[in-house]
């Protein structure tokens, strides 16, 4: 995964070494220090990214200036010399405009001799955090790197807990920790001395919103060419190619494209939870047979992952309440025995009109005339179907008193609905999905869970150029009359079985609703005991017990998800705030 961390101000090798030891699980075991009078940087390169794209992370100097990057690049400014040399030279001459020519999954720190600039890639394939303490600004690829700084406070941001319950993640720029901030995807933060940073968004794909009046066949052909290029940029030039294949449209498309470009070298991996639960194995097998991949199926049960659940939460660092984290984690452990990188299908729904946009579109079209000021924000929060409507029932009065629903929840969404760009309502929803859910849940979840096993995740459908292209595609080719991801289906109709093209999305449904009545029941009751909840003072134990007993007025379909969110948070709280061992 590679580690990148440091701070501005006078050098302090001991401080760097403490941060480096905390992030040692991310690197290759050979940390490198860059110390200057105004900035100190630690870097530990993991070799898995070598051979990807046109260049990988590292460090490059030009006089007093330097760049340190983690990740890999698929596009850089033109010029001569090594990739990082070109990037630094161009940045010193043109400033942040340079970033418009940079693609890939990366985070980096640029020092121009005067100020420190932190950069996160366009889509959010890699993460970067920062915080202020004792007159310095610290940064790291994981919050735990900042928390390692002696004296840095460990305090819960209660508003973030409400956001987590509503979204199952914390929207940027905040994290679950007071004083630790997340750099949003496609942004650059400039630090000059002790003052607050100037944070600027450099990647704005909505400015390219569809004005394309070309023939649809031409648009579809160009789209397939772009997907082909995005996959090609992420393929191993030699050796086996790993792909997570669920049997859904998105991962099937990536597997088919990879198999076309690397015939005989692709190995696909599908995960399931046993014959009692719904799965997509038959569709994954059809795709694998048609594409000619070496296909493998993996069974996951609670008894397989419970011994490693606390370690998984530690790896997540900032909690994510999506049950798919555990399958990602366990499947990656197995795949890492054979591969150093793995392709996935993440990005299809956020970028190309997945079916979860339908409730909001229906509300937009048929929601009536009398609408209050923030009806769209509230409708979106409800349609997200996490625990938005549970917040006041779950939180203690003391915790709830610190929450302002308009400030902490609705205003997160208001900029997306009230902006003139993008203009089309579906594209507004996609912007939320890309910049919030994609950059703060989907991509960080995959990066942390696969990276914990020493794997590099590659998401061609979430490549920066594909995100930009998604805004240029007319809405009718994304979600049309209830048919989702139209352009994906048209572009790959000849490469995928009709059963995959024609069926509605079902997704990988982790059976937490059943597990919390069976194999997870005892474990959850122990972690979410009345004594533990009362000591923390955040959740009302009566309401949590109702969820554990499946005895609330709501239908049972949401019990499992809400319990997983509560379990994830409570384990995170103990490990991070209480410093319990993993």
Clarify whether residues 128 and 185 are in a common domain: yes
Which conformational region is residue 58 in: left (phi greater than 0), alpha (psi within -120 to 50 degrees), or beta? Answer: left
Kindly state whether residue 451 falls inside one of the protein's structural domains.
Answer: yes
| Rounded Cα–Cα distance for residues 365 and 281 (Å) | 37
> Number of structural domains, the chain?
3
Q: Tell me which residue of 185, 199, 216, 240 sits closest to 432, measured CA to CA.
A: 185
pLDDT at 556: 47
Contacts of 51 (CB under 8 A, 6+ apart): 236, 237
Kindly state whether residue 376 falls inside one of the protein's structural domains.
Answer: no
Edge to edge, the sheet with strand 294-299 lists 294-299, 266-272, 241-244, 341-343, 456-458
| Rounded Cα–Cα distance for residues 414 and 94 (Å) | 33
Q: Tell me which residue of 538, 335, 450, 384 sits closest to 26, measured CA to CA.
A: 450
| Rounded Cα–Cα distance for residues 70 and 525 (Å) | 40
Strand partners, 138: 7, 131
**Residue 129 is part of which domain span?**
3-203
Looking only at the bridges linking them, the beta strands covering 39-44 and 55-62 are: unpaired
Q: Tell me which residue of 232, 222, 182 sits closest to 477, measured CA to CA.
A: 222
Kindly state whether residue 377 falls inside one of the protein's structural domains.
Answer: no
Kindly state whether residue 132 falls inside one of the protein's structural domains.
Answer: yes
Contact criterion met (CB below 8 Å) for 208 and 472? yes
Clarify whether residues 50 and 116 are in a common domain: yes
| Rounded Cα–Cα distance for residues 57 and 50 (Å) | 8
Q: Tell me which residue of 373, 435, 432 sits closest to 405, measured CA to CA.
A: 373
Q: Tell me which residue of 325, 322, 297 sits closest to 309, measured CA to CA.
A: 325
Contact criterion met (CB below 8 Å) for 202 and 209? no
Q: Among all chains, which residue has been given the structure tokens 């979860």?
A: 356
Largest separation between any pair of C-alpha atoms in the chain? 67
Clarify whether residues 125 and 46 are in a common domain: yes
| Rounded Cα–Cα distance for residues 29 and 27 (Å) | 6
- Over the stretch 337-353, which tens digit does the pLDDT of each residue have? 999 999 999 999 999 98
CATH number at residue 289: 3.40.50.620
- Over the stretch 446-501, which tens digit does the pLDDT of each residue have? 999 999 999 999 999 999 999 999 999 999 999 988 889 999 999 999 999 999 99
Enter the tokens of residue 52: 């990807």
Contacts of 273 (CB under 8 A, 6+ apart): 279, 299, 300, 301, 510, 511
Clarify whether residues 334 and 434 are in a common domain: yes
Clarify whether residues 66 and 168 are in a common domain: yes
Clarify whether residues 261 and 311 are in a common domain: yes
Contact criterion met (CB below 8 Å) for 133 and 550? no
Kindly state whether residue 419 falls inside one of the protein's structural domains.
Answer: no
Clarify whether residues 248 and 149 are in a common domain: no
Contacts of 568 (CB under 8 A, 6+ apart): 313, 316, 319, 320, 321, 325
| Rounded Cα–Cα distance for residues 543 and 390 (Å) | 9
Looking only at the bridges linking them, the beta strands covering 39-44 and 3-8 are: antiparallel
Strand partners, 432: none
Last residue of a domain, one of 502, 521, 545: 502
Clarify whether residues 249 and 294 are in a common domain: yes
Kindly state whether residue 75 falls inside one of the protein's structural domains.
Answer: yes
Report H helices in 317-438: 325-335, 348-352, 358-366, 375-383, 391-394, 397-400, 405, 411-418, 425-432
- C-alpha 312 chain-centroid distance: 15
Clarify whether residues 65 and 182 are in a common domain: yes
CATH number at residue 112: 3.60.20.10
Clarify whether residues 491 and 518 are in a common domain: no
Kindly state whether residue 563 falls inside one of the protein's structural domains.
Answer: yes
Kindly state whether residue 404 falls inside one of the protein's structural domains.
Answer: no
Clarify whether residues 460 and 537 are in a common domain: no
Last residue of a domain, one of 175, 203, 231: 203
Last residue of a domain, one of 502, 537, 555: 502
pLDDT tens digit at each of 582 positions of the chain: 789 999 999 989 999 999 999 999 988 778 889 899 999 999 988 776 667 777 788 899 999 999 999 999 999 998 888 999 999 999 999 999 999 999 999 999 999 999 999 999 999 999 999 999 999 999 999 999 999 999 999 999 999 999 999 999 999 999 999 999 999 999 999 999 888 999 999 999 999 887 667 889 999 999 999 999 999 999 988 889 999 999 999 999 999 999 999 999 999 999 999 998 989 999 999 999 999 999 999 999 999 999 999 999 999 999 999 999 999 999 999 999 999 999 999 999 999 988 788 878 877 776 654 566 788 899 899 888 899 999 999 999 999 999 999 999 999 999 999 999 999 999 999 999 999 999 999 999 999 999 999 999 999 999 999 999 999 999 999 998 888 999 999 999 999 999 999 887 766 789 999 999 999 999 999 999 999 999 999 999 999 999 999 887 654 457 899 999 999 999 999 999 999 998
Clarify whether residues 218 and 318 are in a common domain: yes
């Amino acid at each position: 995964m590679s580690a990148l961390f440091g701070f501005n101000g006078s050098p302090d090798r001991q401080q760097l070494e403490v941060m480096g030891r905390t992030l040692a699980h991310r690197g290759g075991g050979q940390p490198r220090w860059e110390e200057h009078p105004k900035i100190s940087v630690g870097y530990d390169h993991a070799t898995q990214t070598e051979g990807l794209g046109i260049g990988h992370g590292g460090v490059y100097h030009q006089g007093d200036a330097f760049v340190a990057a983690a990740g890999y690049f698929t596009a850089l400014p033109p010029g001569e010399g090594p990739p990082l040399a070109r990037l630094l030279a161009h940045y010193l001459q043109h400033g942040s405009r340079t970033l418009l020519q940079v693609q890939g999954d990366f985070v980096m720190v640029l020092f121009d001799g005067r100020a420190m600039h932190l950069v996160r890639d366009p889509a959010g394939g890699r993460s970067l955090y920062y915080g202020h303490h004792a007159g310095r600004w610290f940064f790291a690829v994981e919050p735990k790197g900042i928390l390692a700084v002696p004296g840095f406070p460990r305090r819960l941001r209660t508003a973030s807990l409400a956001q987590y319950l509503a979204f199952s993640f914390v929207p940027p720029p905040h994290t679950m920790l007071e004083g630790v901030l997340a750099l949003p995807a496609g942004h650059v933060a400039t630090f000059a001395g002790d003052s607050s940073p100037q944070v600027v968004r450099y990647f704005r794909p909505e400015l390219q919103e569809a004005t394309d009046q070309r023939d649809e066949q031409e648009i579809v052909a160009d789209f397939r060419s772009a997907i082909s290029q995005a996959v090609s940029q992420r393929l191993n030039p030699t050796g086996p190619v790993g792909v997570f294949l669920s049997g859904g449209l998105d991962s099937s498309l990536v597997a088919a494209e990879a198999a076309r470009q690397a015939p005989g070298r692709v190995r696909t991996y599908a995960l399931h939870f046993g014959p009692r639960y719904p799965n997509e194995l038959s569709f994954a097998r059809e795709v694998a047979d048609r594409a000619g991949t070496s296909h493998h199926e993996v069974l996951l049960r609670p008894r397989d992952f419970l011994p490693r659940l606390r370690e998984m939460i530690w790896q997540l660092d900032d909690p994510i309440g999506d049950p798919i984290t555990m399958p990602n984690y366990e499947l990656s452990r197995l795949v890492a025995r054979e591969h150093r990188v793995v392709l996935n299908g993440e990005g299809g729904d956020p970028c190309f009109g997945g079916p979860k946009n339908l409730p909001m579109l229906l509300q937009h079209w048929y929601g009536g005339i009398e609408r209050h000021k923030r009806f769209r924000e509230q409708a979106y929060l409800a349609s997200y179907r996490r625990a938005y409507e549970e917040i006041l029932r779950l939180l203690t009065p003391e915790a709830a008193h610190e929450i302002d629903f308009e400030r902490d929840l609705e205003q997160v969404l208001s900029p997306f609905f009230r902006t003139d760009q993008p203009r089309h309502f579906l594209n507004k929803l996609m912007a939320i999905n890309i910049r919030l859910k994609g950059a703060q849940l989907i991509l960080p979840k995959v990066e942390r869970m696969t990276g914990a096993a020493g794997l590099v995740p590659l998401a061609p459908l979430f490549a920066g150029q594909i995100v930009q292209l998604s805004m240029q595609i007319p809405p009718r080719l994304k979600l049309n009359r209830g048919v989702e991801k139209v352009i994906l289906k048209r572009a790959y109709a000849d490469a995928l079985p009709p059963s995959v093209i024609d069926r509605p999305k079902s997704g990988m449904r982790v059976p937490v609703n059943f597990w919390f009545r069976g194999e997870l029941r005892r474990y959850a009751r122990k972690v979410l005991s009345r004594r533990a909840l009362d000591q923390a003072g955040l959740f009302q134990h009566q309401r949590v017990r109702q969820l554990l007993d499946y005895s609330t007025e709501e239908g049972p379909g949401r019990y499992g998800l809400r319990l997983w969110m509560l379990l994830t948070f409570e384990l995170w709280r103990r490990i991070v705030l209480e410093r319990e061992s993993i």
